Amino acid sequence: MKQKNSTHETVLLAETVDGLDLKQKGVAIDATVGVGGHAERIAKMLGKGGTLMVLDADDHSLNLSKERLADAPAKVIFVQGNFRNLKELASDAGVTSAQGIVFDLGWHSDQLAGGRGLSFKSEEPLIMTLGTHGDYPLTAKDIIADWDEEEIAKIIREYGEERFSGRIARVIVEHRDKKPIETARELGEIIFSAVPGFYRHGKLHPATRTFQALRIAVNDELNALTEALIQAIDLLTPGGRVAVISFHSLEDRIVKRAFREAEERGEGKRITKKPLVAGDDERAINPRARSAKLRIFQKK
């Protein structure tokens, strides 16, 4: 297979793919293909005669994965779209069921530099949409420019779990009243100025949680995940498994609840009652792995 052209390190690779317990010549779905790390290993497990559908809302990510999977032994079907429409997209691609489905909810560096203002270090416009801009009802700039201070504070608090949400929202409104906030770097600097001095030099940049909150709001990520998990379990064949890697507590709570409720309905069982986390070696090599949690569900 072709080598990847990104420095992105796939988190919990072996634990995730091995946890799917895939068989040769089976069918699998990577619902968040990114640069193709999980997909590459899944395609090898499926082998010749196997089928892998890979999905991503971001066309740039899909193109990167096409390069990586060019010589995959399994048949690979590339689909652009949001995983909240998983069943419809799979049906359109001729996939009616799967033995394994994986969701990696993390972001890779190519997405952060994709011109959408996802990084507070960039001079990019404040868009923050995952897929094609026209498919979304609002952008981060719309929220920053038009929403009330209380509404901005609420999403920063609830989606970003940011302790200084009120202060940040107030300073954002003060700045926008003087001049429009146009770029991600400008917003990042405003947030930096809004928080107390002791908070400016911690492990996380003080803008990290606010940018997370805006991205979640713009892409309706939490509702999309809830909808996608229901569809994924429905798509599984008996004994099939879905594996989800999350990177913050809001996502993990949704996955935990979805799997627990599916188990209570008699639809299957949780393979991981407690999430799997990266080992010390992986955490030392890849800082992103420190917050990763893997949960796996098996259909009855």
Long-range own/partner contacts, residues 14-18 (CB < 8 A, 24 or more apart):
14/41, 15/276, 15/294, 16/102, 16/104, 16/243, 16/245, 16/294, 17/41, 17/42, 17/45, 17/102
pLDDT tens over the chain, length 300 residues: 443 444 457 999 999 999 999 999 999 999 999 999 999 999 999 999 999 999 999 888 899 999 999 999 999 999 999 999 999 999 999 999 999 999 999 876 565 666 789 999 999 999 999 876 567 889 999 999 999 999 999 999 999 999 999 999 999 999 999 999 999 999 999 999 999 999 999 889 999 999 999 999 999 999 999 999 999 999 999 999 999 999 999 999 999 999 999 999 999 999 999 999 999 999 999 888 999 999 999 999
pLDDT of 203 = 87
CA–CA separation, 157 vs 150, rounded Å? Answer: 10
Amino acid type, 267:
E
Q: Are 42 and 52 in contact (CB under 8 A)?
A: yes
pLDDT of 147 = 98
pLDDT of 112 = 60
pLDDT of 108 = 65
DSSP string over the chain: -PPPSS-PPPTTHHHHHHHHT--TT-EEEETT-TTSHHHHHHHHHH-TT-EEEEEES-HHHHHHHHHHTTT-SSEEEEEES-GGGHHHHHHHTT---EEEEEEE----HHHHTSSSS-STTS--BS---SS-GGGSS--HHHHHHHS-HHHHHHHHHHHH--TTHHHHHHHHHHHHHHS---BHHHHHHHHHHHS-GGGTTSSS-TTHHHHHHHHHHHHTHHHHHHHHHHHHHHHEEEEEEEEEEE-SHHHHHHHHHHHHHHHHTTSEEES-SS-B---HHHHHH-GGGGG-EEEEEEE-
Q: Are 76 and 7 in contact (CB under 8 A)?
A: no
Residue 95 region, left (φ>0) first, then alpha (ψ -120 to 50), else beta?
beta
Taking the alpha carbons of 113, 114, 115, 116 in that order, is the dihedral positive or negative? Answer: negative
Neighbours of 95 (CB within 10 A): 20
Q: How far is CA 12 from CA 9, 58, 276, 282, in A?
A: 9, 22, 9, 8
- 210: tokens are 């606010």
| Buried b / exposed e along 262-288 (16+ C-beta atoms within 10 A) | bbeeebbeebbeebbebeeebbeebeb
| Domains along the sequence of the chain with CATH | 13-110+221-299 (3.40.50.150), 115-219 (1.10.150.170)
pLDDT of 264 = 98
pLDDT of 60 = 87
pTM of the model: 0.93
